[in-house]
């Protein structure tokens, strides 16, 4: 299955990963382990799996899904993270295992 990864530079990777897992947990199966700094996102109907890893100075995102779901999964994960990190101006730039760039989510300056 296709895979896409992003490295989101932030000085608060644990906070954002925990918040993302908690928020998405309202609609999908999620987990977050504060001790290891790792979380998991399980999208319904086998649509995909996401892994969140809080590293030094960055939140690492890794999603695996069928090709037809890749754009949507990147967008869902990235868009929510950017919304939480609005004040920190987070940017999520995905890179696919095929070598081609994935989507990018960033704050557009809109507050609506």
What are the structural domains of the chain? 3-103 (3.30.310.50)
Residue numbers of the chain with a pLDDT score lower than 70? 109-112
Each residue of 28-55: pLDDT tens digit?
999 999 999 999 999 998 789 999 999 9
Whether 98 and 92 have beta carbons less than 8 Å apart is answered as: no
C-alpha closest to that of 53 among 32, 70, 22, 30: 32
- What integer pLDDT is reported at residue 111 of this predicted model? 47
Q: Where are any strands of DSSP class E within 56-112?
A: 58-64, 91-96, 101-106
Q: Which neighbouring-strand residues pair with 9?
A: 58
The pTM is what?
0.92
- What integer pLDDT is reported at residue 112 of this predicted model? 43
How far is 14 from 12, CA to CA, in rounded Å? 6
């Amino acid at each position: 299955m296709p895979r896409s990864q992003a490295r989101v530079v932030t000085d608060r990777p644990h906070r954002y990963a925990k918040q993302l897992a908690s928020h998405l947990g309202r609609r999908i199966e999620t987990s977050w382990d504060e001790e290891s700094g790792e979380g998991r996102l399980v999208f319904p109907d086998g649509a995909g799996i996401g892994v969140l890893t809080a590293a030094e100075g960055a939140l690492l995102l890794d999603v695996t899904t069928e090709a037809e779901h890749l754009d949507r999964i990147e967008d869902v994960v990235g868009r929510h993270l950017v919304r939480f990190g609005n004040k920190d101006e987070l940017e999520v730039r995905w890179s696919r295992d095929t070598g081609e760039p994935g989507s990018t989510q960033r704050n557009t300056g809109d507050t609506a």
